[in-house]
Amino acid sequence: MTSTLIIGESMVELTHHTDDLLRKSFAGDTHSAAVYLKRLAGDSEDVSLLSAVGLDGLSNELIEALNKEGVSTHTVLQHPTRTIGLYMVHTDSQGERSFQYWRSQSAARATMALLEQQPALLADLAPTRVFFSGITLAIFDSTARAQLRELLEQLKMRGTQVIFDPNYRPALWQNKEETKAEYQWAFAVSDVVLPGLDDLNKLYGTSSMQSAVALVKTLCSGEAIIKNGEHGVTYLNADTQFSVEVAPVAKPVDTTAAGDSFNAALMAARSKGLPPQQAIEFAASVAAIVIQHKGAIIPRTELQHAINQ
């Protein structure tokens, strides 16, 4: 059975239900990827999240929520004093969303230090593949980044496929040079990279898919799948390159988790043996459904439409 280890942070998400009533859920890029991957792959795949939470009630609720989704939490470590991060979504009168975060002291930032204290768990890690993102890197300090790099290199030697989505969030980094230095090794260690064109443009100053492709070729030698919203997806590896059109959704309701659900669906499709073109088409069809609903995690029944297609 395929097993996927997803490394990152789950947070509490607060959205306005009415003006003065907030709705609580759990989210985060890697959280969403884990939930969607498990929903899409079902029993054929073991999905676990490597992260850290606290010992408090809210942290336990998060663990329960993951378990309810079938995401394995044996690698969700518990920090003795910290708790989970939180963010709130504000929507202005024009419908534009902005996010406010309380995550600077989150337990997830201490994931690698907590893992080091559990040598048996560390030694047992042998997933078929591991997925991490630029946000995973951004929330770690330099020691934790070095530990993550070592873990990925060790897993790779044990035969694990490494998958990386740069998911660039400037606010989480000191400057672009710091980000580029970390992404350099992250791209190099990865067998598959799943960047969004916007992120590459923002960080590296590329201005077109063509220049982004040229850049990605210098950064990694494996497969790259470059997402570009409704404008389609470009696939490349050492031997070939092609574009896949996506059916545009004219008025997306909420694009949160578009890229995360795309990544999850792509992984699920590749596990089932679909070749790159069909896997990308499936991933785009899942993301198109996700962006037609509010929130990062959409109702299970809605996702079913994409699976049945």
The nearest distance, CB 108 to ligand ADP, in angstroms, is 20
Choice between 115 and 297, CB closer to ligand ADP: 297
CA–CA dist 179, 184 (Å, integer): 8
The nearest distance, CB 265 to ligand ADP, in angstroms, is 9
Q: How many residues bind ligand ADP (CB under 6 A)?
A: 19
Token pair recorded at residue 284: 């785009």
The nearest distance, CB 150 to ligand ADP, in angstroms, is 27
Binding mask 251-270 for ligand ADP (x = CB under 6 A): -x--x--xx--x--------
Is 56 labeled as catalytic in the residue annotation? no
Subset of 271-300 contacting ligand ADP (CB under 6 A)? 284, 287-288, 291
Residue 37 interacts with ligand ADP (CB under 6 A)? no
Choice between 111 and 256, CB closer to ligand ADP: 256
Q: Catalytic positions, please?
A: 260
The residues binding ligand ADP (CB under 6 A) are 196, 198, 227-230, 233, 246, 248-249, 252, 255, 258-259, 262, 284, 287-288, 291
